[in-house]
Structure 1
């Protein structure tokens, strides 16, 4: 117990702005590269558009609208990217980048062997989400759909007996993507929930092409990560064969060479057995 006449500084630790910035810089340096850039840009664009209300980044110029993208006079190509980096207004400005970083970083550090594999997953899912929302749903804000795709992939490789908390609700991990869509249905509308559901379709199609089709049906692996994409994230001297980051879990490293699965995270699945509801997600040795 501190003496009665001791100054407050002797009781409470000092928290200076310099220390806060130092801690934040340490967090950024240790965060996975794809997750850091993706979530950081999403937060910056959403904050600038909805809170700061900067005219140059008005949501009208950032959302997905196919006629403006494929306009032969003045094509707005940037919408292909920014439509995945702009949230809804209100609390979504904070919550969307938070959940995006959470599931993206979990996938990058524990579900994929290398950061380049996650980037290919994001590009593939983004392409499918764009197709579905161009020809079927006409969705314009696609960040929530990508977040759901990452959550779906993460839950597909988790232990099916594990439980998670979403706000104050406790339930089995396999229901997480569906709970996210239900929350959107209650808080927003049916259209927003359907747009978010396109992320599940995209992620499951990736799982089908990288696991179900090659492992169960004996088909060929059709999704591969080009070496130049791996080169974007690896330091000189990193092994191209192993490519295991320091932050990856031991289970990921242990399963890397198994089955010649390549570099798309396919070796995280058990090499045999039947497919039951998006995979069992058992790690080697469990």
Structure 2
């Protein structure tokens, strides 16, 4: 079930969490929370494992903005903010050895949420874990891309909404084709 939960909560992080709106914010979240989980596990549990903690941390972060909503956990409907605790409870029944790893995930996710959202919004303090600028450079498309069959140069000032293809005018034809005339149907009169 770990790959399913990892995919499910990572895709929800990318699409539903407002504080992680950009790709670099999600990547920075994974670096910081993963690093915190590894540090907590290394110091307190003498372990370097972190997947179980990371899954619970991603779940905790996703459900923080869904307070008051109902969610399904296997066959049960529970309040959305209780899903991480349901995961820990199910581990208590199936594999109690991973519970400390999952608790470290909740601690790391709560610490990240406190330092990036709660303290700046309600405490009036600074964001202690802002996404650094180098993360934006890591995820952006390179301006010049060397290929086996040529070189592609991306113009960052060019519109990316498809307006050069005629998509914004309501026609399916590109601009260069619209100037050619009305055209004739083949095989017709």
Q: Provide TM-score, normalisation by structure 1.
A: 0.47
Q: Does 1:185 align with 2:111?
A: no
Q: Corresponding residue for 2:42? A: 134
Q: Does 1:202 align with 2:108?
A: yes
In the TM superposition, residue 181 of structure 1 has moved relative to its aligned partner by 0.6
3-state secondary structure, aligned to 1:146? helix
In the TM superposition, residue 145 of structure 1 has moved relative to its aligned partner by 0.5
Q: Corresponding residue for 1:156? A: 64
Q: Does 1:174 align with 2:97?
A: no
In the TM superposition, residue 140 of structure 1 has moved relative to its aligned partner by 4.5
Q: Corresponding residue for 1:258? A: none
3-state secondary structure, aligned to 2:77? strand
Q: Corresponding residue for 2:29? A: 121
Relative to its length, the structure with more strand (as a share) is 2
In the TM superposition, residue 222 of structure 1 has moved relative to its aligned partner by 1.4
Relative to its length, the structure with more helix (as a share) is 2
CA distance in 2 between partners of 1:192 and 1:154 (Å):
21
Which has the greater radius of gyration? 2
Gaps of 5+ in 1: 1-94, 240-286
In the TM superposition, residue 231 of structure 1 has moved relative to its aligned partner by 2.6
Q: Corresponding residue for 1:144? A: 52
Gaps of 5+ in 2: 144-154, 158-189
Pairing 1:1-286 to 2, within 5 Å after superposition = 95-111=1-17, 112-158=20-66, 160-189=67-96, 191-235=97-141
CA distance in 2 between partners of 1:238 and 1:200 (Å):
40
**Residues 179/150 of structure 1: CA separation in 2 closer, same or farther (3 Å cut):** same
**Residues 238/184 of structure 1: CA separation in 2 closer, same or farther (3 Å cut):** farther
In the TM superposition, residue 228 of structure 1 has moved relative to its aligned partner by 2.4
In the TM superposition, residue 238 of structure 1 has moved relative to its aligned partner by 6.5
3-state secondary structure, aligned to 1:165? strand
Q: Give CA deviations for 1:194-226 in whole Å, capped at 9, x if unaligned.
A: 111100000000111012211222111111112
Q: Provide TM-score, normalisation by structure 2.
A: 0.70
CA distance in 1 between partners of 2:6 and 2:156 (Å):
28
Are the equivalent residues in 1 in contact too, given 2:56–2:87 (CA < 8 A)?
Answer: yes
Are the equivalent residues in 1 in contact too, given 2:116–2:130 (CA < 8 A)?
Answer: no
